Amino acid sequence: MDESIRPAQSSSPSSPVEVDPATSAAPPLRAHSTLGQAVQEFDDYMVAKGFSQNTIKAFRNDLKILRTFMDDTAVLREIQTEHLNDFLTWMQRERERPCSPKTLARRITTLKVFFGWLHEIGAIGTDPAAPIVQHSVRTPLPAILHDDEVRRLLQTAQDLLWDRQKPDARPYVLASLLLQTGMKKGECANLLIEDIDRSRPSAPEVHIRYADTRYAHKNRRLPLHPGFLPVLDQYLIQYRPRRFLFECTPRNLEYVLDDLGKRAQITRIQVGFEILRWTCAVRDYRNGMPEEQLRHKLGLSKVSWRETGDKIRRLAGRI
């Protein structure tokens, strides 16, 4: 955290004190700062770094409970590992609403991220959360398509593309785009036609953009196969979108994927955005994509990647 310099007070009581806005920020956190001050600074940090709303909400709630247990005025340098263990024991056994194993695991993660951040910025000399043992809780794995199902899905979409009676390029464009990029439903629905960068036909890209600066880390360019462009051109001729690549509701796009899955005789699961996002991620992992590159491709923060990365590794190991 940047050092702040407080303006000197004038020795003359009649002289007004001019405060430079650039130097009037809150003083940096130190070992003698309070828990309440640290939590507020961490909240600002999460927002500035673009943590997801779900992550921010969960961390805020966990730290609110910690502040209730320890008091806002607790001094950072006095918080030891034993105090955090007492806090975890209290939540498990003594609090009116004991937390589930999954919630406990997340709250341990909150402690590790929060105190790890304090240690990283130099506010505390040692991290009291580092010795705490994480309680791993394995949540159910998401469903993905098997390789033969991916082939059937794309073949079916291709059949629709070249149908003599009523050709339809949209199912192929949508399914291919999702299987290549693993983008989210909201990202897909907000794509503009101009977000497909075809300035280099041999190496086209799709640019995923977020207008909110809090999510700047999610902005990314993802490569597309050159063979995608001819199909895209056919789609643009058929549907003539004006601004957005898909000028329909996200729900309609879900219907397109569901119908395509049924036509491909994929009956064990319902094909949708999440299925194709996880399928893309697992295929990339199996093909040797480095985890940091895959995290960036999916637009995930390092905190979100912890659980997602574990699931991807487990899914890849099952195949």
**pLDDT one digit per residue (tens) for the chain, 319 residues:** 333 333 333 333 333 334 343 333 456 899 999 999 999 999 999 998 888 888 999 999 999 999 989 988 999 999 999 999 999 988 887 777 777 888 888 899 999 999 999 999 999 999 999 999 876 666 789 999 999 999 999 999 999 999 999 999 999 999 999 999 999 999 999 999 999 999 999 999 999 999 888 788 899 999 999 999 999 999 999 999 999 999 999 999 999 999 999 999 999 999 999 999 999 999 999 999 999 999 999 999 888 898 899 999 999 987 6
Run of H or E including 302: helix 302-318
116 in the same domain as 152? no
Question: Which residues, listed in sequence order, are joined to residue 223 by a DSSP beta bridge?
Answer: 205
> Residue 207 is which amino acid?
H
Residue 89 belongs to domain spanning:
27-120
Domain assignment present for residue 22? The answer is no
Domain final position from 85, 120, 155: 120
In this predicted structure, what is the pLDDT of residue 38?
A: 95
162 in the same domain as 45? no
Query: At 173, is the secondary structure helix, strand, or coil?
Result: helix
180 in the same domain as 35? no
Tokens of 134: 């994480």
Question: Which residues, listed in sequence order, are joined to residue 197 by a DSSP beta bridge?
Answer: 205
208 in the same domain as 274? yes
Alpha-carbon span 241 to 48, nearest angstrom:
35
Domain final position from 101, 120, 139: 120
Q: Are 221 and 191 in contact (CB under 8 A)?
A: no
Domain assignment present for residue 300? The answer is yes
301 in the same domain as 229? yes
Domain assignment present for residue 2? The answer is no
> Largest alpha-carbon pair distance within the chain?
90
Other C-beta atoms within 10 Å of 253: how many?
19
Nearest to 238 by CA among 165, 166, 157: 166
156 in the same domain as 301? yes
Domain assignment present for residue 274? The answer is yes
158 in the same domain as 91? no
State the burial class of residue 99 (Cβ atoms within 10 Å of its Cβ: 0-12, 13-18, 19+). Answer: middle
Domain assignment present for residue 280? The answer is yes
Alpha-carbon span 67 to 88, nearest angstrom:
13
Domain assignment present for residue 15? The answer is no
Alpha-carbon span 175 to 254, nearest angstrom:
11
195 in the same domain as 75? no
Domain assignment present for residue 43? The answer is yes
Exposed e or buried b per residue across 26-44, where buried means at least 16 C-beta atoms within 10 angstroms of its C-beta: eeebeeebbbebbbebbee
Q: Are 101 and 9 in contact (CB under 8 A)?
A: no
In this predicted structure, what is the pLDDT of residue 285?
A: 97
Domain assignment present for residue 134? The answer is no
250 in the same domain as 169? yes
> Residue 204 is which amino acid?
P
270 in the same domain as 211? yes
pTM > 0.75: yes or no:
no
Other C-beta atoms within 10 Å of 310: how many?
14
- Cβ neighbours of residue 1 under 8 Å, at least 6 residues apart? 28, 29, 41, 121, 122, 123
Domains in the chain: how many in total?
A: 2
184 in the same domain as 85? no
83 in the same domain as 229? no
